[in-house]
Amino acid sequence: MISRADRATLVAQAQAAIAQGSQSFAMASRLFDRVTRERAWLLYAWCRRCDDIVDGQEMGGRMSTTTDPRGRFESAYRQTIAALDGRPGEEPAFRGLALLVDEVAMPRRLILDHLAGFEADSRGWRPQNVDDLLYYCYQVAGVVGCMMAVVMGVDPRDEDTLDRACDLGIAFQLANIARDIVEDAENGRCYIPADWLAATGLTDDKIGSTESASQRAALAARLVDIASAHEDAATIGAMRLRFRSRWAVLAAAGIYGAIGRAVVRLGCHAWDKRVRVPGGQKAILALRALCTSTFASPPPRLRTGLWTRPR
């Protein structure tokens, strides 16, 4: 059992992790009620730490060349399973995960699905087609949307709402992939489907080159187009949440949607420097989300024509 003082320390450490690792998520998380906000920080800290272990990063910074990616994944996996089994060790992110699953009825399968995404990266996996890509996006981000929904009080048996939470995570990840095509290429990774590359005459080792900027921009636009469809579906699920959670989710959706739209707008110049959403624009998007949360009616329930997570 984690004491109240230990809980406060773990929450403070998780808050520091999100503040350093993601300004966008940190801002959106402040819109939650206190308990949900703290649990969201604990979840983020665990996700961030696993990602950093596998990629050789510090708080989501630039990846480094790792000599033993499989061993790194196995370290993150062992520490996670130990935390789920009530033996979290001393590392704060994994102690925070143990605290979270003690407080929230988090399905274990969601945590294992997220670990599977790290395992894919550890073995140099890459997508052959768009279905491969979307399954990977589910593992690394869509399932985080599902876990966040549970943190926000969604019944784990409410599959339709979890599908829409997954949609938002997928939209976030597709925007990230579009923004980071060049950085990923520099680190020997490529998340553009192989059949998309073949159709444009590109190869993994050429996609990050200056000469490939126009083809890269077209591929990024395809990613953002798919992201937009999933973002729209996610909005329906967000409207089912409690007010503060609804506001936070819609604000985060607006911010990440703005990243994808900026990549498309900048075209060939989207990779001259890292695309970011300025603080002032984030504030405007948060206000817009507030208005939507307060006054908009829930859209129709149907969700059709989109990739759907495995059951």
3-state secondary structure 217-248: HHHHHHHHHHHHHHHHHHHHHHCCCCHHHHHH
Q: What is the mean pLDDT of each run of 10 residues along the chain (311 residues)?
A: 82 94 89 96 96 77 67 96 93 96 95 97 94 98 98 95 97 97 92 96 91 96 97 92 95 95 97 94 95 81 88 84
pLDDT on residue 274: 94
Predicted pLDDT at 57:
67
Amino acid 159: pLDDT: 94
Distance, CA of 166 to CA of 8 (rounded, Å): 29
Q: Where are the domains positioned within the chain?
A: 1-105, 126-311
Whole-angstrom distance, CA of residue 224 vs CA of residue 177: 9
Q: What angle do CA 144, 145, 146 make, to 5 degrees?
A: 90
What confidence score (pLDDT) does residue 117 get? Answer: 96
DSSP code of residue 45: H
184-204 tens-digit pLDDT? 999 889 999 999 999 999 998
The domain covering 126-311 belongs, at the CATH homologous superfamily level, to Farnesyl Diphosphate Synthase (1.10.600.10)
How far apart CA 267 and CA 277 sit, in angstroms, is 16
pLDDT of residue 165: 97
What gap in Å lies between CA 309 and CA 311, rounded to an integer?
A: 6
